[in-house]
């Protein structure tokens, strides 16, 4: 059994997130005693997933000091296309990359990492729909359930969540 009693994780949120790709990792990490904060453009705002599941943000992007966190989760759905437009989000991703702290990304979340400019030479996966985007950003793309390249853990889609979380947990454990 793994325990993260002192781990703090950011889970990015905006409208149209893929419901399972946000909530499964958040609940799994919280179950392991991690403190996971939902962080969106506004604090206390209710965002809705593609299938209507709500998520209320704990903090706004501007409230966060990333140095207090041990990792970040980027869910898929259509929210990554919104999230990558915020400079704070791109700065978060660059910080975690430079610090070699865990970055979890699934499905369309690769768009955020592309916009942050951190994928050159990195082995990843994603939904096949953005394969070309990932490769054009310099990533080495693989069609498999989960790919781990150092601190970056990527996955394709909801059916791959068990494998994704298994590997993400290992990366958080160090």
Asked whether 6 and 36 are in contact (CB, 8 A), the reply is no
Asked whether 110 and 81 are in contact (CB, 8 A), the reply is no
Mean pLDDT for the stretch of residues 76-102: 98
pTM: 0.96
pLDDT digits (tens, 9 = 90+) for 24-81: 999 999 988 789 999 999 999 999 999 999 999 999 999 999 999 999 999 999 999 9
Local confidence band at 4 (pLDDT 50, 70, 90 cut-offs)? low
Q: Does residue 108 carry a catalytic annotation?
A: yes
Burial of 31 (0-12, 13-18, 19+ CB in 10 A): exposed
Partners of 9 in the beta sheet? 36, 71
Q: Kindly name the residue from 37, 108, 123, 166 that is annotated as catalytic.
A: 108
Structure tokens at 171: 């990366």
Mean pLDDT for the stretch of residues 101-113: 98
Asked whether 165 and 20 are in contact (CB, 8 A), the reply is no
SS3 164: helix
């Amino acid at each position: 059994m793994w325990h993260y009693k002192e781990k703090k994780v950011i889970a990015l949120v905006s409208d149209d997130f893929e419901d399972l790709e946000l909530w499964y990792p958040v609940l799994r990490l919280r179950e392991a005693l991690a403190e996971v904060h939902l962080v969106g453009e506004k604090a206390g705002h209710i965002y809705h997933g593609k299938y209507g599941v709500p998520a209320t943000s704990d903090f706004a992007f501007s409230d966060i000091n990333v140095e207090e966190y041990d990792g970040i989760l980027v869910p898929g759905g259509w929210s990554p296309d919104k999230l990558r437009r915020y400079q704070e989000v791109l700065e978060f991703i660059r910080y975690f990359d430079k610090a070699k702290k865990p970055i979890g990304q699934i499905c369309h979340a690769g768009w955020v990492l592309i916009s942050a400019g951190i994928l050159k030479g990195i082995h990843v996966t994603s939904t096949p729909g953005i394969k070309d985007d990932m490769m054009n950003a310099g990533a080495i793309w693989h069609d498999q359930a989960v790919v781990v390249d150092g601190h970056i853990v990527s996955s394709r889609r909801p059916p791959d969540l068990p494998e994704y979380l298994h590997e993400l947990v290992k990366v958080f454990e160090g």
